[in-house]
A = this chain, B = another copy of it.
Amino acid sequence: MRRVRVLIDCNDEKGLVYKISKVFYDRDLNIENNREFVDREQSRFFMRTVVTGEFNKNRLRDAIKEVIPKSANLRVIEPKKKSIIIFATKESHAIGDILIRHEAGELDADIKAVIANHNTLKGLVERFDIPFFHITANGKSREEHEEEVKRVIDRYRFDYIVLAKYMRILTSDFVSHYRDKIINIHHSFLPAFIGANPYKQAYNRGVKIIGATAHFVTDDLDEGPIIAQDVIPINHRFEWRDMQKAGRDVEKIVLSRALNLVLNDRVFLNGNRTIIF
């Protein structure tokens, strides 16, 4: 018995659910899980179905293709571990959380390598027998640095790049090259406190809640589609370093939660927004 995830997004039109479920019914497949959503403003249809049964994957894909709009995005995916590369700088909480999940077999991904612009995390990463590449940015242009990074990561096949508190801004070129494949954790409740040192900004503004945001990386700094967010309450006793310390727990949990959603093919892009099933 096989199991696949069928992911469809396309312009909405009458009968989509009927036609798609007919494809499954005609093949005697079992629908294990089914989620749909129509963005009525954009008139766009999203569907994620897990089906099981006896079938040929390519023929199933072709059959679905026949009944949905030509311009539809269709993915028929076997549930298996994906591959990721992690970028980090100095802080260990976000990458540490991923390493522990990885070690426990709870992450639906293999970590292929860790790239860092500082050497701080080398010890931690190598404790887990994962390749660590220290690629300093000192004395290099942004482009030169990224060129070096690319040379290293392109040795690997990977599905996603995870920025686990990578404190550098990526160039447009780099981002375009790995379009929809880069996930970042920003240490604020976006769109509040875009840019550098959000905790200092939060302290200065006197907010009573701080948060973190996991998002896909696009050209615009901290403007990409949001996957997950969470917050914690703070009070006047928190100096900005206390916020930073408390915020780390939110950052790592939000990043891991978003990563988990992405690895399970639960995230659809919808313009600058996301659909999460």
Contacts and interface: CB of A to CB of B under 8 A. Distances in A.
Interface of A: 14-15, 17-19, 21-22, 24-25, 28, 30-34, 36-41, 91-93, 96-97, 99-101, 103-104, 106, 123-124, 127-128, 189-193, 204-209, 211, 225-231, 233, 235-237, 239, 245, 249, 253, 256-257, 270, 272-276
B205 A191 contact: yes
A34 B36 contact: yes
Given A96-B104, A206-B274, A209-B230, 5 more contacts: A14-B28, A191-B193, A192-B192, A209-B211, A235-B276
Contact of A249 (B36, B99, B256): B256
B103 A206 contact: no
Number of copies: 4
Given A97-B100, A103-B124, A226 B249 contact: no
Given A14-B25, A253-B253, A207 B236 contact: no
A14 B51 CA distance: 11
B239 A37 contact: no
A100 B92 contact: yes
A208 B229 contact: yes
Which of A28, A228, A231 gathers the greatest number of chain B CB atoms within 10 Å? A231
Contacts of A39: 236
A71 to B, nearest CB: 20
Contacts of A40: 32, 239
